[in-house]
Structure 1
Amino acid sequence: MCIVFIYNGVNETESDYSLILISNRDEHFERPAQCMAPWNEDSNVYGGKDLEPGCEGGTWMAVSPTRGKLGLLLNLPGVKKESAKSRGRIVSDYMKSTMPLSEYVEFIHNYSMQCNVFLFLSVDFGAGQFLYSKSFTPSTPTPKIKTYSNATDNIYQWPDTYLGFSNSLPDKPLKKVEAGKNYLTDICGRLNKIMDKSQLIDELTCLLKNKESHLPDDQLESRQPKLYKELSSIFVDIPQGKYGTRAHTIMLLSKSGHMDLIEISMQSPIDPEKPHWEKSAFQFDLIK
């Protein structure tokens, strides 16, 4: 399971941020992966890589500051397809392309229908495309947040200030998603100034490490009758199953066009009882 929360502050006049996005990646500890870094085949893209054989170099999340977009994939429950195609490739191919989401979804439609069900999140924050006013002051980055699922074959644009998605269709959110949105609302309501960035990052990290259970959740219990309690928290920890949250990602985009991109991930080989966390951080200025 994975989870993502988003604050779209572009219309919040008191906020210094256009976008705050935080995410947890939950995965088997033995599954090989590359931590966030610029990609060898395309240095304009920053993200992790799934190194599992047969996954075609796919990823669960990546950002391209120069192309002004982010892609993130969440698996959905459903019947597994025989000889299913790699879902992670959908993100990696999108990030290396210049196509807008609607065009890309049409381009990969046949491929996506051969994948197990997923929810694909796209954020277009328009780097390199900002309009300038008569005073030659760059305009504020205006994120466009959209989702596409091969389960419904629909693209939806989300205007909400606070959003949360996990391993369910958006109209049927898990209880921990609703709880996380409330936590994020409190944090971003108090810490929306650049001068508070350090505390903001600390509190966002605490949110991603929150182990509080959010029950009852009938949807989760019906899907995972043996593990629903362990999966009902934002931070998932199942050491006996060698599975859980193994990476946190935080992205901050200010209204001035400055981006902070942070990943905190378990260092491989992972010891479930005593994991070692390492931090990678990148900074970009989208408006020059």
Structure 2
Amino acid sequence: MCIIFFKFDPRPASKNAYRLILAANRDEFYNRPSKAADFWGNGKEILSGLDMEVGKEGGSWLGVTKRGRLAALTNYMEGKQNPDAQGRGFLVSNFLTEGVDSFSYLRKVASDGHLYNGFNLLTADFRANEETVCYYGNRGSPDPIHLTAAGIYGLSNSLLETPWRKLQRGKRNFTSVVDKTLPPEGLVQELLSVLNDEELNTPDPLQESQGEGYTAAVLRALSAVCVRSPGYGTRTNTIILIDGEDNVSFTEHTMLDGDVSQWSTKSFHFRLQE
């Protein structure tokens, strides 16, 4: 499970404004092996964390490249999982390494959507004076969509903008932060606070109806923006900022050794390449 909030503005009012503000949580088993975010790939131009689970090595959940390609993934909540399905994390890694544009890539993914357990995938291209953000969920419409309108969006473990209570609460808090005039460091810190909100949002009939097969205790834990349960929960927060002058800030706050009391924060800064 994961959750993502993002503000997309293809024509910011000033160069100091942001083309993209994205805040995301990765929820996973604490003992699942993974690498913290760093640069990798040919020329070290891809920045992401990496899954190191046996058979899933090299997949990711969120990443960006120095050329402005970005991808982010959430799982779709469903009771029955196919153990033989293909690894969803490769959907992110493959986009970041290939040269196909965002929409064409999602059309290709949609043609093979049946090979995967439920997922949602955002792909984006941020270039000089040009932005493309696209979305596809393999449990929704058969076709991907362009997100052409500037605005604030939320994506959890149902389809884009499905109004689960946790998504609505997190989106309200995210909106209140991005509407402020804050220096980058202050913006990152306030967004981290949004992502680490552990308040439960129950009852939520909409989320619970989709979670058939989950126990009541698990559904209750999953109703928070920041999930905390034995052995499973939010283990990575990521903030990505892209401003009007093509400067990228990527901050990852990640759990160490499966210990909820031990965290490390690392930031990366670079300018988009042509």
CA distance, structure 2, for counterparts of residue 109 and residue 42 of structure 1: 29
Give the letter for the 1:251 counterpart.
Answer: I
Task: Give the secondary structure class of the aligned counterpart of 1:89.
Answer: helix
CA distance, structure 2, for counterparts of residue 116 and residue 82 of structure 1: 9
1:2-29 Cα offsets, whole Å, 9 max, x none, are 0000012344526611110010000000
In the alignment, does 2:242 pair up with 1:253?
yes
Judging by fraction of residues, say which structure has more strand. 2
Alignment of 1:79-118 (within 5 A): 79-81=80-82, 83-109=84-110, 111-118=112-119
Matched with 1:7 is 7
Matched with 2:136 is 148
CA distance, structure 1, for counterparts of residue 71 and residue 91 of structure 2: 9
CA distance, structure 2, for counterparts of residue 39 and residue 287 of structure 1: 16
> Does the aligned pair in 1 maintain the 2:31–2:231 contact within 8 Å?
yes
Give the letter for the 2:180 counterpart.
Answer: R
Relative distance call for 1:276 and 1:113 in structure 2 (3 A) is same
Q: 1:82 Cα shift?
A: 5.0
Unaligned 5+ segments in structure 1 are 131-138
In the alignment, does 2:158 pair up with 1:172?
no
> Does the aligned pair in 1 maintain the 2:66–2:273 contact within 8 Å?
no
TM-score by length of 2: 0.89
1:63-90 Cα offsets, whole Å, 9 max, x none, are 1122x11111111123323511111111
CA distance, structure 1, for counterparts of residue 161 and residue 251 of structure 2: 29
CA distance, structure 2, for counterparts of residue 198 and residue 57 of structure 1: 30
In the alignment, does 2:265 pair up with 1:279?
yes
Matched with 1:24 is 25
> Which is higher, the Rg of structure 1 or of structure 2?
1
Give the letter for the 1:270 counterpart.
Answer: G
Q: 1:102 Cα shift?
A: 2.8
Task: Give the secondary structure class of the aligned counterpart of 1:249.
Answer: strand
CA distance, structure 2, for counterparts of residue 80 and residue 42 of structure 1: 37
Matched with 2:184 is 197
Matched with 1:231 is 222
Matched with 1:121 is 122
1:46-77 Cα offsets, whole Å, 9 max, x none, are 101111111142111111122x1111111112
In the alignment, does 2:48 pair up with 1:47?
yes
> Does the aligned pair in 1 maintain the 2:107–2:144 contact within 8 Å?
no
Q: 1:178 Cα shift?
A: 1.4
1:234-255 Cα offsets, whole Å, 9 max, x none, are 11111xx211110000011111
Aligned residue pair count: 266
CA distance, structure 2, for counterparts of residue 101 and residue 287 of structure 1: 17
Give the letter for the 1:232 counterpart.
Answer: S
Q: 1:228 Cα shift?
A: 2.2
> Does the aligned pair in 1 maintain the 2:110–2:143 contact within 8 Å?
no
Q: 1:109 Cα shift?
A: 4.6
Comparing 255-264 with 10-19, which one deviates more in the overlay? 10-19
Give the letter for the 1:167 counterpart.
Answer: N
Task: Give the secondary structure class of the aligned counterpart of 1:154.
Answer: coil
Q: Percent identity?
A: 29
Q: 1:231 Cα shift?
A: 1.4
CA distance, structure 2, for counterparts of residue 216 and residue 11 of structure 1: 39
Task: Give the secondary structure class of the aligned counterpart of 2:189.
Answer: helix
Cα RMSD of the aligned pairs, angstroms, is 2.0
CA distance, structure 1, for counterparts of residue 157 and residue 43 of structure 2: 29
TM-score by length of 1: 0.85
CA distance, structure 2, for counterparts of residue 281 and residue 171 of structure 1: 29
> Does the aligned pair in 1 maintain the 2:6–2:23 contact within 8 Å?
yes
